[in-house]
Amino acid sequence: MAKSRQSFRVGVSGSYGGLNLGDEAILEGILKELRRALPVEITVFSRDADDTRQRHQVERVVPVRKLSRDEVLPEVQRLDLLILGGGGILFDGEAQIFLREVALAHENRVPVMVYAVSAGPLRDPAVQRAVQDGLNRAAVVTVRERGARQILEEIGLTREIVVSADPALLLEPEPLAGDALKREGLDSGRHLVGMSVREPGAAAPDISPQAYHKLLADAADFMVDRYDADIVFVPMEPRMLDVQQCHAVVAQMLRAQRATVLKGDYTSGQLLSLMKHFDFAVGMRLHFLIFASLQNVAFVALPYAPKVAGFLDDLKIEMPPLMQVSAGRLIAYIDHAWDRRRLLRGRITRALPALRARALESNEIAVRLLSQAVTGRRDVA
């Protein structure tokens, strides 16, 4: 690396492009800390280049899903560091897609850092081998929960794996439009309970929509009747299937007139600001729960994946896996948690500083990698 260069060239590859507000919060956290620490020129390998360029004001964006291997190669070759992550991108359906740029970086002696990822499900032997090869050759591997480290060790990783935390924990609120609550119909003066669902798919193959739709509908009706609450469904993937899944739950509610699905187009920071208006939350998606925690909103989670269970472990909040929860059991958990909201908020407040410090560790490692300025350096963690 030429010492006279004014900035470090860093590539970030993950599930970016405006599809998931949790992923955009991850990218925001990574970019904010890199920019705070060093002069950097950022290249994001994105699903939607226009969205990423507008949302994050990065110097370069590569529409990676539209380009061939040879077309992406020059963008990788020019980097001082390629960051893979963060987020839950190492699973059977998509891991090999994200590992293409990692393989190009290895071939061209560009250091790779795996940054606060989750892993699993990883049941396909071919995908396991690809992940093992790509990550064993990386300069550094950090994961965002202990369960991810265990999964990677089980498929054959033999190198050190650092447990950090999700970069979205570093997200800061952004202002909402003054009439946002009124436009969403959230100005009734009653209690507001946020709810989050997710679609089934390769990242969550064991979810049964029919089962959890009815489960959440019964829980929502209970909260309307017991707490005189309005239910607010929060689509974390508003351009994908989250909105449909939200409406599918509302359709099974007896008190559907007291439920609404957010309609506005929000940034991650704006959605974080909106979360502070909730008195309570019940949800599946990890970043919905992270946003609730950042605004000190007590919640009940439905852990459908190890990444959610890992976050609950960090907060010292107990909740059985989604598949073990009946409607009666969920309602009992909700009623107990509602009564203990103050205690739960205190637990979240005490846990967050350590989690945010862990989230900063991945950036500190990235800065050390860049500051070493030695081409081909592999073992700096």
- Residue 6: the pLDDT is 72
Architecture of domain 180-352: 3-Layer(aba) Sandwich (3.40)
The pTM of this model reads 0.93
pLDDT in tens, 208-219: 777 789 999 999
For β-strands 191-196 and 8-13, DSSP reports them as unpaired
Structural domain boundaries in the chain: 8-171+355-372, 180-352
Amino acid 5: pLDDT: 56
| 3-class SS of residue 270 | helix
What is the CA angle 94-100-102, rounded to 5? 110
Query: For 243-263, b where at least 16 C-beta lie within 10 A, e where not — what string?
Result: bebbebbbebbebbebbbbbe
Average pLDDT over residues 43-58: 95
For the record, the structure tokens of 279 come out as 């008195």
Whether 111 shows a pLDDT value over 90: the answer reads yes
Confidence of residue 188 (pLDDT cuts 50, 70, 90): confident
The answer to whether the 8-171+355-372 and 180-352 domains have the same CATH topology is yes
Q: What is the pLDDT of residues 223-277, one digit of tens each?
A: 999 999 999 999 999 887 889 999 999 999 999 999 999 999 999 999 999 999 9
How is domain 8-171+355-372 classified at the CATH fold level?
A: Rossmann fold (3.40.50)
